[in-house]
Structure 1
Amino acid sequence: MLQPTKLDRKSSLSEFSTQELAQALLERLSISPDEWHKLKSNRKARANEQAAAAIVFLLKDQPEEALPRLQQAVGWLDRSISAPPCPTHQKGVRSEE
């Protein structure tokens, strides 16, 4: 089976809107619930996810939603933020009944 060339892939990408491509990128970079514990402190993965989300909001003309996600992405990259502990795994925390 022949592999598509870069030109073939590029022309097939032109069939999608910029917003659709950004949404696909966000879906690709989003951390799934199954990967959450493994990647919750992975700075690159978290920054990628937040930056992609910001792009989606910018393309939807929602800069007020994009800005906090960009700030989160920068925080992951400059190490000014860290993942909070998982609420279900904190020591001494009991669920209220």
Structure 2
Amino acid sequence: MIKPATVQGLQSPLQSQLQDLTTLDLAQALAERLTLTEGDWHRLKGNRLVRSREQAAAALVFLLLDQPEEALTRLQQASGWLDRSLSAPPCPDHGR
């Protein structure tokens, strides 16, 4: 039986590339990927899972930057989205 290529030191190209990145680089990339863009804001502003993921990823970045207070704020916001104690603010463009 043939074993997967990752056995005994063989790595996929992606694994090799990821090893060149720091943990902070990876966390920042994840946070950027999960951040709502201006174009998605209206569609996803009230999506609790999306907003919670966004805040949790930001919290990880702040933890890695040794900023625990800021990380805690983001974790509390992530929790607030999940427990429904937070809701989306109104659109800034509609308030003008």
Equivalents in 1 of 2:91, 2:68: separation in Å? 29
* Matched AA of 1:69: R
Runs of 4 or more, structure 1, over 6 Å off, are: none
Residue-pair matches, total: 87
* Matched AA of 1:50: Q
> Aligned residues: percent identity?
61
| Alignment partner of 1:54 is 2:59 | yes
Instruction: For residue 30 of structure 2, give the secondary structure of its aligned residue in structure 1.
Output: helix
Would you tell me which structure has more helix in proportion to its own residues?
2
- Return the TM-score normalized by structure 1: 0.81
Residue of structure 1 in register with 2:74 after alignment: 69
* Matched AA of 1:82: S
Residue of structure 1 in register with 2:44 after alignment: 39
Q: Deviations over 1:40-69 (max 9, x none)?
A: 101111001100000000000001111110
- Return the TM-score normalized by structure 2: 0.82
Unpaired segments ≥5 residues, structure 2? none
